[in-house]
């Protein structure tokens, strides 16, 4: 029998000559009734290594563009892949609402298909999941552990990059809002939410504002994509599962996050050395609950995506990651 990648057609990727992409057709989406797709990206100079492969999974209002991360992992001998989820980045199709979903479990399909493709070539896989991706991946790993142990056995570990494990607002307000979101999000899923005020983060990282990184602002607007009531309900329900204490990744898990947050403010230089999207105290509180074998690394002065931080914090994040990989994976 041929491997899952034997008939796949890789094509040149938007990131340039050393990157290739593969469109993964998916089933009809339950939220829209339409066919959707995901897109897998690989960094070709990294593919001959015998170490476990890394699979980058992005967050909300995001896609994979962090070519420097691929280069760093390749330099350490790790094959590097990234997945643009349905309705995100490369996978977005005309007429789709960016990132819209009514259930975080929808993404399990493309994650498992990507896992199979990569594992067929490299044996073991280490997802590296950012923000909302850092919520989805532990839920997926737990589902594999419970329901598909042969698939779960392909995971060598998990790295979470500022995972979104709780709502980053006033705790009393969140407590009151959760049941309302649950009910109304089920009845009126397409009602748009007010602007979430993510502009400080976008401005802090993009080269045309105050940052050093270049990316497609259609796929990743500086202020984020429009969000909907049904989507935030899906987030709340996913976080409820995390808070239940029943989620277990079943593999060594590393969580990286900043030392402090800077939330609800306009851009200032303070945004360059803080998480301007999530409450890092929540990350530090909830992340150890998702794996018995868990390591938390707090990176002083890191941004929300720790690998888009200023140089000192970015280097610290890579150092912590590779030291953990050396200790926990082979």
Task: Determine the pLDDT at residue 5.
Answer: 40
Give the least confident one: 182-186, 313-317, 320-324: 182-186
Please determine, for residue 7, whether its predicted confidence score (pLDDT) is greater than 60. no
pLDDT, tens only, 10-56: 999 999 999 999 999 999 999 989 999 999 999 999 999 889 999 99
pLDDT computed for residue 6 by the predictor: 33
Position 1 pLDDT exceeds 80: no
- Position 150 confidence tier, pLDDT thresholds 50, 70, 90: very high
Point out the least confidently predicted range of 2-11, 106-115, 228-237: 2-11
C-beta of residue 155 within 8 angstroms of C-beta of residue 144: yes
> Rounded mean pLDDT of 92-120?
97
For residue 161, the model assigns a pLDDT of 98
Asked if the structure places residue 6 within a domain, the reply is no
Query: Strand runs (DSSP E) across 217-322, as ranges?
Result: 253-258, 294-299
For 153, residues 6+ apart whose C-beta sits below 8 A from its C-beta are none
Looking at the domain assignment, is residue 205 inside a domain? yes
- Provide the mean pLDDT of the chain: 94
Element (H or E) spanning 245, and its range?
A: none
Proportion of the chain above pLDDT 70, given as a percent: 96
Q: Nearest-5° angle of CA 300, CA 306, CA 308?
A: 120
CATH of the domain at 112: 3.40.50.1820
C-alpha angle 112-117-122 in degrees, rounded to nearest 5: 115
* Residue 294 to residue 289: CA distance in whole angstroms: 8
Residues, the chain: 330
Q: What is the pLDDT of residue 305?
A: 98
Residue 276 lies in a domain: yes
Structure token digits, residue 104: 């975080």
The domain tally of the chain equals 1
Domain for residue 1, yes or no? no
Q: How confident is the model at residue 248 (pLDDT cuts 50, 70, 90)?
A: very high
Give residue 196's pLDDT: 60
Residue 4 domain-assigned?
A: no
DSSP state of 194: P
Range of the domain at 35: 11-328
Radius of gyration of the chain, Cα coordinates, nearest whole angstrom: 18
Residue 95 Cα distances to 38, 129, 254, 325, angstroms:
16, 27, 37, 41
The 3-state secondary structure of 142-168 reads HHHHHHCHHHHCCECCEEEECCCCCCC
**Secondary structure of residue 135 in the 3-state scheme:** helix
pLDDT of residue 102: 96
* The most confident of 148-157, 164-173, 190-199, 223-232, by mean pLDDT: 148-157
For the cut 70, the answer to whether the pLDDT of residue 8 exceeds it is: no
Q: How far apart are the C-alpha atoms of 50 and 63, rounded to whole Å?
A: 27
Structure tokens at 172: 């009393």
Q: What is the dihedral of CA 35, 190, 129, 163, to 10 degrees?
A: -170
Residue 237 counted as domain residue: yes
Question: What pLDDT shows up at residue 244?
Answer: 96
Tens of pLDDT, residues 45-103: 999 988 999 999 999 999 999 999 999 999 999 999 999 999 999 999 999 999 999 99
3-class secondary structure, 127: strand
Q: Could you tell me if residue 225 is inside a domain?
A: yes
Q: H helices within 198-310, ranges in order?
A: 199-205, 229-243, 280-286
Q: Where are the alpha helices (DSSP H) in 188-244?
A: 199-205, 229-243
What's the pTM? 0.95
The pLDDT of residue 4 is 41
């Amino acid at each position: 029998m041929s491997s899952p990648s034997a008939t796949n057609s890789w094509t040149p990727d938007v990131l340039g000559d050393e990157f290739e992409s593969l469109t993964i057709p998916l089933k009809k989406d339950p939220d829209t009734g339409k066919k959707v797709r995901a897109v897998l990206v690989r960094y070709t100079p990294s593919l001959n290594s015998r170490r476990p492969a890394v699979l980058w999974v992005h967050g909300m209002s995001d896609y994979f563009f962090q070519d420097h991360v691929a280069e760093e992992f390749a330099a350490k001998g790790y094959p590097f892949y990234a997945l643009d989820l349905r309705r995100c980045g490369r996978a977005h199709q005309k007429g789709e609402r960016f990132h819209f979903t009514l259930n975080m479990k929808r993404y399990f399909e493309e994650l498992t298909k990507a896992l199979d493709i990569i594992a067929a070539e490299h044996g073991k896989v280490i997802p590296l999941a950012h923000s909302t991706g850092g919520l989805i991946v532990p839920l997926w790993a737990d589902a594999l552990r419970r329901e598909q142990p042969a698939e779960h056995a392909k995971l060598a570990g998990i790295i979470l990059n500022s995972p979104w494990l709780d709502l980053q607002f006033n705790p009393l307000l969140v407590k009151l809002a959760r049941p309302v979101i649950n009910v109304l999000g089920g009845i009126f899923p397409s009602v748009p939410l007010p602007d979430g005020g993510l502009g400080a983060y976008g401005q802090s990282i993009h080269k045309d504002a105050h940052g050093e990184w270049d990316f497609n602002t259609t796929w990743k607007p500086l202020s984020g994509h429009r969000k909907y009531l049904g989507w935030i309900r899906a987030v709340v329900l996913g976080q409820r599962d995390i808070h239940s204490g029943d989620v277990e990744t079943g593999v060594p898990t590393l969580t990286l996050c900043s030392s402090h947050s800077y939330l609800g403010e306009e851009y200032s230089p303070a945004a360059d050395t803080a998480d301007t999207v999530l409450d890092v105290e929540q990350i530090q509180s909830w992340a150890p609950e998702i794996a018995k074998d868990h390591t938390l690394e707090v990176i002083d002065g890191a941004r929300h995506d720790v690998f888009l931080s200023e140089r000192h914090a970015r280097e610290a994040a890579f150092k912590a990651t590779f030291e953990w990989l050396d200790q926990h994976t082979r």
